[in-house]
Structure 1
Amino acid sequence: MNAKIFQLSFFILVGCVAAIGNRVADGADPGQFKIATFSADITIPLGHRCMGIIKTKVKQIDDPLEAHGLVLLGADSPIVLVALDWCEVRNGAYDQWRDALAAAAMTTRDHVLVSSLHQHDAPISDSGAQRYLDTVGLQGELYDVDFHARCIDDVVRAMKAAVAEAEPLTHIGLGQAAVEKVASSRRVIRADGTVGYDRGSGSGGVPAYAAADDGEIDPMLKSITFYHDTKALAVVSCYATHPMSHYGKGAVSADFVGIARRRRQLDTPPTKQIYLSGCSGDVTAGKYNDGAPAMRAVLADRVYQAMKQAEAATVRTPLDRVALKMGSLKLPFIDEPAFTRPSMMQVLENEQATVENRISAAMGLSSLDRVERGQPIDLPCLELGEARLLLMPGESFVHYQLMAQQMSPDRFVMTVGYGECWPGYIPSEQAFVDGFDHGWRWVARGSEAIIKEALQPLLAPSQVAP
């Protein structure tokens, strides 16, 4: 079934009632919605660290890092969506972003959806981790706290200015297109029959990795377009892959997804282009990318072409509903000896350990603090007419994106990754069975069952009258 036929099929189906807790979050009367779009520069300064633990700090800026977002007005409370060209935002820093944007938009934290795109030549922020590092003389090693605060201020200021000029929102358009020769699973079956998750972002130069099939991916780039009558005001695009061509040498970049977004923006100056990364903890460009610098432009063009095709396939329909459902997750902290509090404290306080290992320990301690105080992860699902935009935490595997689509087969479901990022990788149960293990994982086995249970009320199929 092609994308256009698929879209037409679900437009005839009725919607389900949305709620946040017991509070109805249905939209205002049709025609009463408004939208505001905004952007701000959030490029880190020279000398800053990328990806939290990359040894080489920033020496040059290849291209800027940006924040792009929108505010939806006319539902029970304003709803904010922001996409950051950063690797991850975690724990207290994530709360800091949401609280500041909520206050400025006169809404509540649960109405603010913040997602990182997860480029690796970009920063990680975690206020709890940095406080741990401060206690052992490693001030500013994870991230620049003052710069981080200025970025939030700049984004808030841009958002406020945009809200003052919000435009009517009357229609929504849904489209999708396949991205050719970008995504491939980390999971490969080796020559001896064993399973490995070691096909990284630049593995295409290894014959065995290039020859292995794509594996489990979602090949579709999905787009949601917001209209005032026939005027396109904003397009939100989402595709599930790690957004890295090459990285780690001290050059800041929004990488190939940022390049594709900017190129598309040049095509459509009046229409705000916002890009989000899907659930792609186990998806990279590793089959199709050998890590050569020239491949960045090649991968960017492939994503750009899919963005154009998705918008060309878009079906526009009146928007009669904007609402928000909210679930929550309490994922179990990793239950391995190296991640106990005493073990992580020992690494943090060990002056002979590498700075990068001490940073990892600090991030683990910050996340353990959160788990022990019982703070859940918000799991928001934005309802836009017949579309659903679901924000998942951390490096959720693509299995969860496909699961979400299967749970709501009569809907257009856009699943976004890299919301609250403290869990790091969130493997599927099958990946645990396969023996997936990585130091960038702070959750334990059993997470899939918890996530599945939380998703069901958010994405239950509509009850269609006979």
Structure 2
Amino acid sequence: MRLSLLLVGLLPLCLHAAPPAAPLTSSIRAGFAQRDITPDIGMEQPGGYGKSYHRTFHDPCKVRVALFDDGKKTAVLIGLDSLVVPRQVVLDARAQIEKATGIKGDAVLICASHSHSSGPVGMVMPGEYDTASDLVKKLAYEESSCADPGYLLRLTHEIVAGVVAANTAKVPVQLGFGFGHEDKVAFNRRLRMKNGQSWSHPRPGNPDILEYAGPIDPQVGVIGAWDLQGQLVGVVVNYACHATTNPGGISANWIQYLEKTIQGGLDTHAPVVFMQGACGDITQVDNLSTAQTPKPEEWSRLVGGRVGAEAIRVLLTMPKITAAPIDTRQEVLKIKRRPPSPQRVEKSLAIASQPRPAGDTTDYLFAKEILLLDHLNKTHPVVDCEVQCIKLGPACFVSDPAEYFVQYGLDIKKGSHHLFTFPCELSNGIVGYVPTEEAFGPHGGGYETRLTAYSNLEITAGTQMAKKGVELANQMPAEPKPEPPKAPPFSQPWTYGNVPPELE
């Protein structure tokens, strides 16, 4: 009886059902892949101005690859669980990728997540100070964070292997694009102080704090790729927040929980390719909060979980399209370093010539950095800064090789005519912190503006890169907004519901 009633109830709906849809086709193919780049216990842990070593393991570090092919051109987005990506690694990987697959280097974007719990990729590169004085060589190789040459070769190899695997795995797909909003886990770490300056991390509870010195970028940029049977094959996420939660030991940092949240929430093993946004002044630390900060593991789960949950919401609501034209632009800017004055070099030499002090080593560390910078300014006074744009349908990825202040990312989004613009910092090389010009003004200051071997470009560098990014992005035509399929034309209302109230 119940089955008969159910069938009768469904009959009116069946009578008005749309005819069977034509088989789905797509002009865009995509492939996703990942490779392991977990460093060994005992290797250097990058991210500071001195040496530190990995003692424990928490979770693997990966190369994650998203490859797209529109039938005319191929573009590749690569996310690394890495502090930075050295320029030479990028150049070597692109050359090997082109040899193995035919994909041109200007269509390959390699972005580091800035995980402070990853492998030894910096800060001092192999051989970089071989022609320096004995003191400077000692300061560079024995007292600074150094890249491991064997690890760099492995990183290059796994980037290439990941692209080859993604190219082999590509299938026709439906793509979705969207923005979410997450403003509870990322904060500007520079604060306006009563003395008129802006300080980095003045610490919660500091009575001299007035307000945040800059904005955040709460947008969670998401691209989803599904095969023609509706199975998720990969996800790309763009968000701006330092990867400094350091959950304990070797780790992809909070990005591991971004991946776990998306994969667990959608019951999938599809790779999640993370592309770091402009977060040079953005971290998980809220200097205006007086609440006790979470422990590292909890903090990592909090950031990754909330960004991942927002990405899921976007994935579940985005319309899908089956055509996404690909285009690319690229230009390498030549930008000068800011040289230290002779007087500062002389003062730094006097400090760094003495044994490293016990206790507070701030003066010693930054004297060391001035001497390293002085050598770089003599050997490489001009730095290559690649700006690259990759268009994928209505989305455009705009790269820079810096720890880029968030305001520049917002400026690029505002200036771009593409519907979904994703700034990607620490991409295709590393030139250190690039603050806004305002940060060098009378009300500026803070850690990021300190002159070091890592952070030293002329103060207009960020503006130059942002303008070039917008210029290159807008050379490529914008695509229309993806829309959900239209419902069939109205025929008649549902006969079960088109009645007045029945009171008896």
Is the TM value for this pair above 0.5? yes
Matched residues in 2 for 1:212 and 1:257: separation?
29
Matched residues in 1 for 2:377 and 2:157: separation?
25
Matched residues in 2 for 1:464 and 1:132: separation?
44
Please list every run of 5 or more consecutive structure 1 residues that lacks an aligned counterpart in the other structure: 1-29
Q: Is the 8 A contact 2:386 2:429 kept in 1?
A: no
Letter matched to residue 39 of structure 1 = Q
Letter matched to residue 239 of structure 2 = Y
Residue 411 (structure 1) shift: 1.7
- Which residue does 1:279 correspond to in 2? 278
Query: Which residue of the other structure, out of 405, 412, 419, is the alignment partner of 1:404?
Result: 412
Q: What is the TM-score of this pair, normalised by structure 1?
A: 0.79
- Which residue does 2:458 correspond to in 1? 444
Residue 220 (structure 1) shift: 1.2
What do residues 67-115 of structure 1 show as CA deviations (whole Å, max 9, x unaligned)? 1012223455532221111101223233233333333332232222111
- Which residue does 1:78 correspond to in 2? 74
Residue 38 (structure 1) shift: 1.0
- Which residue does 2:300 correspond to in 1? 296
- Using a 3 Å threshold, how does the CA distance of structure 1 residues 246 and 324 change in structure 2: closer, same or farther? same
- Which residue does 1:152 correspond to in 2? 156
Letter matched to residue 163 of structure 2 = M
- Which residue does 1:67 correspond to in 2? 63
Deviates more, 1:418-427 or 1:264-273: 264-273
Paired residue secondary structure (2:111) = strand
Q: Is the 8 A contact 1:394 1:426 kept in 2?
A: yes
- Using a 3 Å threshold, how does the CA distance of structure 1 residues 208 and 233 change in structure 2: closer, same or farther? farther
Aligned-CA RMSD value:
3.7
- Using a 3 Å threshold, how does the CA distance of structure 1 residues 269 and 431 change in structure 2: closer, same or farther? same
- Which residue does 1:263 correspond to in 2? 261
Paired residue secondary structure (1:67) = strand
Query: Which residue of the other structure, out of 172, 193, 203, is the alignment partner of 2:175?
Result: 172
- Which residue does 2:53 correspond to in 1? 57
| Identical columns (%) | 18
Letter matched to residue 441 of structure 1 = S
Matched residues in 1 for 2:184 and 2:343: separation?
37
Letter matched to residue 290 of structure 1 = T
Residue 450 (structure 1) shift: 1.7
- Which residue does 2:99 correspond to in 1? 103
Q: Is the 8 A contact 1:48 1:143 kept in 2?
A: no
- Using a 3 Å threshold, how does the CA distance of structure 1 residues 452 and 416 change in structure 2: closer, same or farther? closer
Letter matched to residue 393 of structure 1 = P
Residue 239 (structure 1) shift: 0.6
- Which residue does 1:35 correspond to in 2? 30
Q: Is the 8 A contact 2:232 2:268 kept in 1?
A: no
Matched residues in 1 for 2:178 and 2:469: separation?
23
Letter matched to residue 253 of structure 1 = S
Residue 312 (structure 1) shift: 2.5
Q: Is the 8 A contact 2:401 2:427 kept in 1?
A: yes
Q: Is the 8 A contact 1:102 1:111 kept in 2?
A: no
Q: Is the 8 A contact 2:93 2:157 kept in 1?
A: no
- Using a 3 Å threshold, how does the CA distance of structure 1 residues 307 and 327 change in structure 2: closer, same or farther? same
Q: Is the 8 A contact 1:94 1:126 kept in 2?
A: no
Residue 34 (structure 1) shift: 2.2
Find the structure with the greater CA-based Rg: 2
- Which residue does 1:435 correspond to in 2? 444
Deviates more, 1:353-362 or 1:447-456: 353-362
Matched residues in 2 for 1:286 and 1:313: separation?
31
Structure ranking higher on relative contact order (CA contacts 8 Å, 6+ apart): 1
What do residues 394-434 of structure 1 show as CA deviations (whole Å, max 9, x unaligned)? 10111111111111255211111111443211111112223
- Which residue does 2:238 correspond to in 1? 238
Matched residues in 2 for 1:113 and 1:379: separation?
10
Residue 242 (structure 1) shift: 0.8
Q: Is the 8 A contact 2:109 2:428 kept in 1?
A: no
Q: Is the 8 A contact 1:115 1:418 kept in 2?
A: yes
Q: Is the 8 A contact 2:400 2:465 kept in 1?
A: no
- Using a 3 Å threshold, how does the CA distance of structure 1 residues 310 and 151 change in structure 2: closer, same or farther? same
- Using a 3 Å threshold, how does the CA distance of structure 1 residues 165 and 286 change in structure 2: closer, same or farther? closer
Matched residues in 2 for 1:346 and 1:370: separation?
20
Paired residue secondary structure (2:125) = helix
Paired residue secondary structure (1:38) = strand
Matched residues in 1 for 2:195 and 2:123: separation?
43
Matched residues in 1 for 2:89 and 2:206: separation?
41
Matched residues in 2 for 1:390 and 1:36: separation?
21
Deviates more, 1:126-135 or 1:218-227: 126-135
Paired residue secondary structure (2:254) = helix
Letter matched to residue 216 of structure 1 = P
Query: Which residue of the other structure, out of 452, 457, 470, is the alignment partner of 1:456?
Result: 470
Matched length: 426
1:319 aligns with 2:323: yes
Residue 335 (structure 1) shift: 3.1
What do residues 213-263 of structure 1 show as CA deviations (whole Å, max 9, x unaligned)? 59401111110122333443221001111122247x8x2222122222233
Letter matched to residue 459 of structure 1 = A
- Using a 3 Å threshold, how does the CA distance of structure 1 residues 305 and 75 change in structure 2: closer, same or farther? same
What do residues 324-383 of structure 1 show as CA deviations (whole Å, max 9, x unaligned)? 12233222212333899x889979x969569977688658856875554xx633211111
- Using a 3 Å threshold, how does the CA distance of structure 1 residues 121 and 104 change in structure 2: closer, same or farther? same
Q: Is the 8 A contact 1:344 1:361 kept in 2?
A: no
Matched residues in 1 for 2:273 and 2:221: separation?
12
- Which residue does 2:491 correspond to in 1? none
Residue 211 (structure 1) shift: 8.9
Letter matched to residue 458 of structure 1 = L
